[in-house]
Amino acid sequence: MHEALESRHWRILRLFLISLDEQEMKNVGEQLHRELAARRDCDLNPVRLFFSSLTAEDLELARQAILNERAARRQERRLLAVLARTKSRKSARSESAR
């Protein structure tokens, strides 16, 4: 859980906002809406919450781990398909031999 900002931090934010022109204020407002949406998404999705806490380097490592896991699962599915076809052929041969 995030800690609430102290009053001095709110003063810093207000000073920052005062220094912005209208377009920059619009951009800040739009960014705030995106951040609120992202926060709601994090609250609903634990994986997003986890990923949002990672550094860019760790995100890249996570991406590679996911790719490796997907490749391993594809290989397992291929092997299972080959085993299923082999079993099916043996079963068909046994039936025809009877």
Question: Which residues make Cβ contacts (< 8 Å) with residue 54, sequence separation at least 6?
Answer: 62
pTM over 0.85, yes/no:
no
End-to-end CA, the chain:
69
Query: How far is residue 66 from each of residues 5, 7, 14, 71, 73, measured CA to CA in Å?
Result: 36, 42, 42, 9, 11
CA distance linking residue 49 with residue 43, whole number of Å:
7
What is the percentage of the chain residues whose pLDDT exceeds 90?
66
E strand or H helix that includes residue 48? helix 46-52
pLDDT at 2: 61
Higher-pLDDT residue of 71, 3: 71
User: At 89, is the pLDDT very low, low, confident or very high (cuts 50, 70, 90)?
Assistant: confident
